[in-house]
């Protein structure tokens, strides 16, 4: 069996086995081994495609590591742009597919003759290797920028905060407040109850990031509660809080 065939069989088998473990939903040591195989295999096979097993060992290891890092970055961006969800199985398919593609290139290309002995060393840095490291550096810088952009423009689900908190200075007073983090201007109906009796209500309009707050009295032995409705829905409370004060005025 030719060297290229051996390498293709080794890396292809590792990639397929890793993808099978991930697809089966296995966990524990099996998933750890599968992840390592899928992480290493693409960089190793594409380093062989580009270098043909030539050059110092350290150089081949560095190229392999650079390609192993570049593969998920470039592939992940391509999947994201294509609208493919970046879940565990999709990542496994990306890495396994990259490995198998490199194996096909190895099988179609004839073996390159490796130096039989020390001989005369070739140039320390060939143009192709310089270009390869330059691409790896660009990919790494691009990955950092993509991560920063994603963190700065991450979209979060909006929410509204409602609280009814006893004051530290007086156990017979509570702070009642609403804060709007919906990402838009919204209108609310806030209903305050003492026991089962409605004692106050407010219609509130808040811009995103705006807060409304009042101080309300607590009655020992009675449960004070607040229901917040997101207008126009007055049938289903959007938020609910409650607090009770004991006869000794300790909430």
Looking only at the bridges linking them, the beta strands covering 223-230 and 239-244 are: antiparallel
Residue 71 has pLDDT above 70, yes or no: yes
Find the mean pLDDT for residues 43-55: 78
Rounded to two decimals, the pTM is: 0.46
Of residues 152, 165, 156, 168, the one with CA closest to residue 213? 165
How many whole angstroms separate alpha carbon 7 and alpha carbon 100?
Answer: 11
The β-bridge partners of 245 are: 220
- pLDDT band for 120, please (50, 70, 90 cuts): very low
Of residues 250, 198, 206, 249, the one with CA closest to residue 231? 206
CA distances from 206 to 22, 97, 203, 209, 230 (A): 47, 51, 10, 8, 11
pLDDT digits (tens, 9 = 90+) for 134-175: 666 666 566 555 655 555 555 567 889 999 988 776 768 889
Q: Is 202 helix (H, G, I), strand (E, B) or coil?
A: strand
CA distances from 236 to 189, 227, 229, 240 (A): 11, 9, 7, 10
Burial of 16 (0-12, 13-18, 19+ CB in 10 A): middle
HEC secondary structure over 121-141: CCCCCCHHHHHHHHHHHHHHH
How many whole angstroms separate alpha carbon 48 and alpha carbon 4?
Answer: 9
From its phi and psi, is residue 106 left (phi > 0), alpha (psi between -120 and 50) or beta?
alpha
Q: What is the pLDDT of residue 56?
A: 75
DSSP state of 220: B
pLDDT digits (tens, 9 = 90+) for 102-115: 888 888 876 654 55
- Residue ranges and CATH numbers for the domains of the chain are 3-112+124-152 (no CATH), 159-244 (2.60.40.10)
Q: What is the pLDDT of residue 145?
A: 59
- Cβ partners under 8 Å of residue 52, min gap 6: 112, 114
């Amino acid at each position: 069996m030719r060297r290229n065939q051996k390498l293709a069989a080794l890396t292809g088998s590792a990639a397929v086995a890793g993808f099978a473990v991930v697809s089966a939903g296995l966990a524990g040591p099996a998933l750890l081994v599968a992840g390592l195989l899928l992480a290493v295999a693409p960089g190793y096979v594409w380093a062989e495609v580009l270098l043909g097993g030539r050059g110092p060992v350290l150089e081949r290891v560095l190229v392999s590591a650079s390609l192993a890092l570049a593969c998920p970055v470039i592939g992940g961006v391509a999947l994201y742009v294509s609208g493919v969800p970046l879940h565990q199985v999709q990542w496994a398919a990306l890495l396994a597919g990259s490995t198998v593609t490199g194996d096909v290139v190895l099988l179609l290309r004839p073996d390159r003759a490796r130096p039989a002995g020390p001989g005369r060393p070739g140039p320390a840095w060939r143009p192709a290797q310089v270009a390869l490291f330059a691409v790896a550096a660009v990919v790494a810088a691009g990955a950092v920028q993509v991560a920063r952009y994603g963190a700065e423009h991450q979209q979060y689900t909006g929410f509204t905060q409602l609280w009814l908190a006893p004051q530290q200075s007086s156990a017979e007073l509570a702070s009642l407040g609403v804060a709007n983090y919906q990402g838009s201007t919204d209108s609310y109906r806030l209903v305050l109850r003492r026991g089962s009796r409605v004692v106050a209500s407010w219609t509130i309009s808040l811009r995103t990031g705006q807060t409304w707050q009042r101080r309300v009295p607590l009655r020992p032995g009675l449960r004070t509660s607040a229901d917040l409705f997101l207008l126009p829905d007055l049938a289903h409370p959007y938020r609910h809080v409650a607090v009770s004060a004991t006869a000794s005025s300790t909430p």
